[in-house]
Structures are given as C-alpha cells and as structure tokens.
Amino acid sequence: MAKTGVILCNCFGEIGKVIDLHSLKKRIENDPAVDSVTIVESLCLPGDAAKTHSLMLERGIGKVVLGACSPFGKMEFVKLGLEKEGADVRSVRTVDLREGCAWVHGKDAEGATRKAANQLDMEIGLLQIMRDSKDIAIRVQQEALVIGAGPAGLSAAAGLARLGFKTHLVDRGSAPGGILNMITKTYPADEPGPEKIRSLVEETGRNPLIRFYAKTKVSAVKGYAGDFKISLAGPGGNAALRVGAVVLATGARILFPQGQFGYGKVKNVITQMEMERRFATGTAGCKTAVFVQCVGARNGERPYCSTICCPLSLKNAMRVMDENAGAKAYVLHRDIMTPGSVLEAYYRKALQKGVQFIRFDADRPPEVRGFDQVSGVEVFDTISGVNRFIETDLLVLSTPFIPDPDAAALARMLNIPVDRYGFYAEVYPIHPVETRNDGIFISGTARWPVSSDQAIAQGEAAAVKAASFLGRERVSALTMSRVPGGKLGHAFADAAACTGCGNCVAVCPYEACRLQRTGNRSVSRVIKVRCKACGGCVAVCPNGAMQVPEQNYRAVGEMIRRAFREVR
C-alpha cells in the first residue's frame, strides 16, 4: 500500500504569514498514516511539478495531500503538471490553505492553523479509505447512425463520411430531403429547396461509406455511448446495427391553423406550405397577398418564436410581387424577426421592393372578411393607430414548427431530454448539439426551429462532435466525460447488500442502474459507461449497497469524524 505524504506550500509567505506551517507540520505528522510532511515555497511555478514528482518518488509516497491554494487558483494546473510528469493524480488531494484559511482568517492565526490542520486531517483520512473505481475500456464502434435525412441529417451523414466513418442514414420517407423538398425557393438566396441540398443528396448517395435506409424507423435502442445496438424496422424487414454514436435529425412538423382566421372554411386562407405548393404548380396568382405572422406562435400555448416564418414571408411576399404584375403584398406582423446582417439586408430589400408591413398587437389580431372566399382583412395598425381594411384575395398564415409526434418516443428510447414543447434539448447553450447522453447528438428542427442553412450547419456540427467521439476508438468509462480531469468515479452496487428494491433504477437520470436477475433474486448493476457519478443512487439506497468507491460511506464518515476532532 502506497505511503501517504503531505506537502505544504508556503506560497512565498502568503500562507506562512498567517498559518504557522511548522506547527501545522507537527500536528499532522503524528498521524500514523502520514509518512512525511514537507514544506515547500511554491508548487505552481515552472519546474515545480518535476520537483514535486521527484519528491514523491524519493519518499516513496503515492498518496499525496497538497496544502496550497484554492482549486480555483492554480491547483488544477498543479495536478495537471504532476500528471504530465507521470504521477497518478487520482490519489492526489488538495486542501485550500491560502484563500480558504490564511486569507479569510488573516486576523486569527491560531484559528486558521487549526482549520488547516482539520482539513488536511480529513483528506489524510479519506486517502486511507477511498478506493479507485474499477474502470473499463470499451471499443468504440466505428460507425454512426443518423436518423432523419432532411438538410440536417444529410449534412451530418455527409460530414461523418467525409471524416471517414461508415454512416447509416435512416429516414421514414422514401427519399431524402425532408420538408425542403416541398419548398420551391429558399431564402435568402432564392434557390429551389431541392437544389439547395442536391449536392448533399448526391454526395450521400455516391459515398460508399453511407448507406441510406428508406421508409425505415428505429424500433429499439440498447447499449451505450460507443456501442449502441440499434434495431431498424424497414420495408426489407428488420436490421440490427452496432454504432458508436447517433445523430438525431428527425425534423419537425408545421402547425395546421385549423379554425384560425377562417382556415379550413374560407377559401384562399392558406398556410405557407400550401403557398409553396401554389408556387410549385403555378397557381399562386393573386392581386393582393396578405401574410399573417405568429399564427399559433408567441402565444400562451406556444410562447416561442419559430425563427423562419418572418424571412419566409418576406421571400413569398416579394415573389408574389415578382410573379404577378401589379400585385401587392402585405405582411401583418408583431415584430419582424430578421436578426443578423444577411436577414436584415433581406428585410431592407423587401421594404425597398414595396412590401407593406403592418404591425398588429397580439391582443388585437387581424380579422378575416369574406364568407366562402376571403375578401379582405381588417387590422388595427399599431403604428398609425388606425383600423385598416385591406382588400385581398389571398391570406397566407405563418404557423410555427411543432415537434414531430414521433420525437418523444425516440427521445425516450435514447434517454435524452426534450424541452417543454417536445423539441430535443441540448446539454447547455454553449454545447448546442450535445445531449445529456454521451454519444447522442441533435440537430435541425427536431432540436429547435431553424432555417435550412442553420440545419445544415447543425448537421455539420453534430458530425464533427460525433466524429471526435468515434475517433477515440477505445475509451474508458472514466475518461468519457468531457470535463477536465475526468469524472470522480462510478457507482458500484454491492450485490451482497442489495435487496433489489429498484430505488437506484428509479432515480438514475442516465439509466445507468439496471436490475439484473441473479439466481432467485434481482440485484442492481451499474453500467459504468453511463454512470456520471452523481451519487443519486447512493443517496436513495436503503442498504448502503450503492457506493462510489472514491467517496464511499466509510470514507465520508471518516472525514466527518476528523473534521470535528482536535488535531494537536
């Protein structure tokens, strides 16, 4: 068993000016567990890591308590330096003697020294009892699954293949393209929708690393990051895949505004998608077109902005004017959502072209006039303060993206959270395509309403993240996490103490705990790769069967005992 050593840093007097380091040394070196206590001037300057490491080797100490500054000071870099020197830093603990003792208790030298002694004592105690979690390494399956073959899914699959990974691209439709197939022109480049992704469709079709599964759904998911076992159900029967990472690009639906603004009853009250169909079939002729924004969005039920509807209306309003000589176009809006430089320029273009913008209030929405056929719209223009009547023969309703009804089931299967509406939720805004579940990435409108350009970028982002994960080929459960220094450890179920009550299974947010039948009883088993060492299972286990070895019950109990004893 490795010996325990304590190294105290003076920090050029920053610690020593308050804490009597020699007295501190005396107090802790009596502990039978402590082999040696060394006082040094610094631990963090260039060359110090090598010195500290050779001190450890010289004294034969494998477990080390470093009494120095705050972990938010330099201690993480000190540990990193030691790791580079070849030390096993899992048995290196740090105690904050500078900020936490010397600086805050500058006026009470004895108190600061006492506190320092107790904190060092606790860590010494912990080191005697803590164990390292048994780590496992898994082989990462060098293939990826992309679900959904719209702009996001196509670009994700193409990206993964460009990076050299075999990719399975699954779509429930018969051909790739998604909603974009129905869009005759996209904003702001006025490119036909299918044209926009033609190169991606061709690339994914041509690249031998990509296999496309039409009319196929994912029916079951087992396994974990690096080794997911996927069952597919398609026209050719069922198929089984083993993939290391999954990119979700399942798209979204667009809300049907049944009953609103006479939709479904009054002729020529249509949705944006129906407008696209009219453009495609050459039946978009009209004298006046009125576009109503935020139909079913930014309201009580769906308080979100759907991102694409404003630029979509700008595009279609301009197109109506282009394709019908002398036609007028109005956009009735609450705010024109064209953030950035490109879309703002697009808005200016529409203004210059003569598209008329009327701002209405959410509390006073426009009203449709006409019985079987739309004849006009009455709207209270908040900017001029008057009620206006616009004679029109076409009313186009801009409705938001809503989550696909299949998305929730898939999210459950893959154990990733959805937001309050049902869109896939990212782990944090700064990591927008990553999810709580390692190895699963999200992109496109299934994640949040976005334009096709944004969806393509998100597909690429998901591809590069998935590839970084797959590229590791072998990964250990402890280093899977992206947090520097890895995770603390992973939970472990003591089969002898476990009664199979299932509390751990119920609380684990990562589905890492499973009940497994052993002989005539069920016991809990932890899937190490999934475990994030959150400790939830430890807290709810009535028998103390669940433990994280690095901070097990006995170790924590010992720390508490030492926290309250006097160290002389």
CB of 67 to other proteins, least distance (A): 15
* C-alpha dihedral sign at 42, 46, 51, 52: positive
**Residue closer to other proteins, measured from CB, 123 or 203:** 203
Whether the CB-CB separation of 138 and 160 falls below 8 Å is answered with no
Contact map string, positions 86 to 125, toward other proteins, x by CB under 8 A: ----------------------------------------
CB of 552 to other proteins, least distance (A): 27
CB of 453 to other proteins, least distance (A): 10
CB of 246 to other proteins, least distance (A): 17
Reduced to 3 states, what is the DSSP secondary structure of residue 38?
Answer: strand
Exposed e or buried b per residue across 484-504, where buried means at least 16 C-beta atoms within 10 angstroms of its C-beta: eebbbbbbbbeeeebebbebb
CB of 96 to other proteins, least distance (A): 13
Of the candidate residues 12, 409, 509, 560, the single one contacting other proteins (CB under 8 A): 12
**Residue closer to other proteins, measured from CB, 76 or 511:** 76
CB of 462 to other proteins, least distance (A): 8
Q: DSSP secondary-structure letter at 426?
A: P
**Residue closer to other proteins, measured from CB, 347 or 492:** 347
Site for other proteins in 151-190 (CB under 8 A): 159, 162-165
Contact map string, positions 499 to 538, toward other proteins, x by CB under 8 A: ----------------------------------------
**Residue closer to other proteins, measured from CB, 418 or 508:** 418
Task: Return the closest-CA partner of residue 179 out of 249, 284, 261, 269.
Answer: 249
If one asks whether residue 344 binds other proteins (CB under 8 A), the answer comes out as yes
**Residue closer to other proteins, measured from CB, 147 or 456:** 456
Of the candidate residues 141, 184, 307, 445, the single one contacting other proteins (CB under 8 A): 307
Site for other proteins in 247-306 (CB under 8 A): 298, 303-305
Q: Let me know if 49 is exposed, middle or buried by CB neighbors in 10 A (0-12, 13-18, 19+).
A: buried
Residues with Cβ within 8 Å of residue 80, at least 6 apart in sequence? none
Q: Segment contacting other proteins (CB under 8 A): 11-19, 109-117, 270-278, 504-512?
A: 11-19
**Residue closer to other proteins, measured from CB, 219 or 468:** 468
- Which residue's entry shows tokens 């994280």? 548
Whether the CB-CB separation of 118 and 219 falls below 8 Å is answered with no
CB of 172 to other proteins, least distance (A): 25
If one asks whether residue 464 binds other proteins (CB under 8 A), the answer comes out as yes
**Residue closer to other proteins, measured from CB, 166 or 215:** 166
Of the candidate residues 314, 463, 491, 533, the single one contacting other proteins (CB under 8 A): 463
Site for other proteins in 436-455 (CB under 8 A): 448, 454
**Residue closer to other proteins, measured from CB, 447 or 528:** 447
User: Could you tell me whether strands 143-147 and 474-476 are parallel, antiparallel, or unpaired per DSSP bridges?
Assistant: unpaired
Q: Segment contacting other proteins (CB under 8 A): 119-127, 389-397, 466-474, 521-529?
A: 466-474
DSSP structure string for 106-136: TT-HHHHHHHHHHHHHHHHHHHHH--PPPP-
Site for other proteins in 195-224 (CB under 8 A): 199, 203
* Type and span of the H or E element at 346: helix 342-353
Reduced to 3 states, what is the DSSP secondary structure of residue 182?
Answer: helix
CB of 554 to other proteins, least distance (A): 31
CB of 454 to other proteins, least distance (A): 7
Q: Segment contacting other proteins (CB under 8 A): 12-20, 176-184, 250-258, 527-535?
A: 12-20
Residues with Cβ within 8 Å of residue 331, at least 6 apart in sequence? 290, 291, 293, 313, 314, 317, 350, 355, 356, 357, 358
User: Could you tell me whether strands 376-381 and 386-391 are parallel, antiparallel, or unpaired per DSSP bridges?
Assistant: antiparallel
If one asks whether residue 141 binds other proteins (CB under 8 A), the answer comes out as no
Residues with Cβ within 8 Å of residue 115, at least 6 apart in sequence? 100, 101, 105
Q: Which segments within 434-564 are labelled E, that is strand? A: 440-442, 474-476, 492-493, 513-518, 521-526, 546-547
Task: Return the closest-CA partner of residue 422 out of 436, 411, 433.
Answer: 411
Site size with other proteins, rule: CB under 8 A: 74
If one asks whether residue 465 binds other proteins (CB under 8 A), the answer comes out as yes
Of the candidate residues 235, 483, 564, 566, the single one contacting other proteins (CB under 8 A): 483
**Residue closer to other proteins, measured from CB, 382 or 516:** 382
* C-alpha dihedral sign at 555, 557, 563, 565: negative
**Residue closer to other proteins, measured from CB, 306 or 316:** 306
Contact map string, positions 66 to 85, toward other proteins, x by CB under 8 A: ---x--xxx-xx--x-----
- Which residue's entry shows tokens 């006082």? 39
* Type and span of the H or E element at 48: helix 48-59
Structure tokens at 150: 């719209």
Of the candidate residues 23, 36, 38, 42, the single one contacting other proteins (CB under 8 A): 42
CB of 430 to other proteins, least distance (A): 5
**Residue closer to other proteins, measured from CB, 97 or 463:** 463
Site for other proteins in 380-439 (CB under 8 A): 382-385, 419, 423, 428-433
**Residue closer to other proteins, measured from CB, 199 or 373:** 199
**Residue closer to other proteins, measured from CB, 136 or 342:** 342
Whether the CB-CB separation of 126 and 563 falls below 8 Å is answered with no
Total residue length of the chain: 568
* C-alpha dihedral sign at 376, 378, 379, 380: positive
Task: Return the closest-CA partner of residue 481 out of 473, 469, 463, 493.
Answer: 469
If one asks whether residue 486 binds other proteins (CB under 8 A), the answer comes out as no
DSSP structure string for 189-239: TTB-HHHHTHHHHHHHHH-TTEEEETT-EEEEEEEETTEEEEEEEETTEEE
* Type and span of the H or E element at 414: helix 407-414
